Structure 1
Amino acid sequence: MLAKTFAGVLLGLPLSMALVSLAIWLWPHSESVVIPMLVLFFPVWIGIMAATFLFRSGPRAWAWLAAANAGAFAALFLAKHMLPGL
């Protein structure tokens, strides 16, 4: 139980940052949605932390969240380098 909690807290934070950043970057006319998306950051993080308790074990939670972080940051990197943005 403690491993799932730490996975949600420690890996959920960068995952929610990457997801919100990706949403801001991909949104058309993103200047107008920066503040609402930043407010949305905390519910996304809480949702990720809550979802970690659905995994069978702590190592599975760490593995899936690490893979999700890698995928989200890769998508953000590609979006920033391939698409016009802010």
Structure 2
Amino acid sequence: MWGRATAAAIPGFLLSAGVTGLVCWLLPGPWQSTLVPGVVAFFAVWMAAMAVAFQFRNGKRAWAWFGGGAVASLGALWLLQTLQWVR
């Protein structure tokens, strides 16, 4: 149980930040206009990640999926910024 809870708290937080950041950056218009809705959506996504974490069989699987998702989403954010596709 503690493995799944920590997977929801640490990589789940990063995954939620990455997914919310991607959605906010990819919407049309300046990213500043999506800041407040993005923060509100972030908490909803993080709470959903916390609920999903307890659906895994064990903590290792939760850490693997959430960790991989966090690396992928934050890597996509980094790549978009490096290629200057978003500002």
TM-score, structure 2 normalization:
0.88
Identity %: 35
Q: CA deviation at 1:72?
A: 0.5
Paired position in structure 2 for 1:82: 83
Q: Secondary structure at the match of 2:10?
A: helix
TM-score, structure 1 normalization:
0.89
List aligned pairs for 1:61-72, cutoff 5 A: 61-72=62-73
Unaligned runs of 5+ in 1: none
Q: CA RMSD in A?
A: 1.3
Counting matched residue pairs gives 86
Unaligned runs of 5+ in 2: none
Q: What is the alpha-carbon distance in structure 1 between the residues aligned to residue 34 and residue 7 of structure 2?
A: 29
More helix by share: 1
Q: What is the alpha-carbon distance in structure 2 between the residues aligned to residue 2 and residue 66 of structure 1?
A: 16
Residue 83 to residue 28, structure 1, CA distance change in 2 (3 Å)? farther
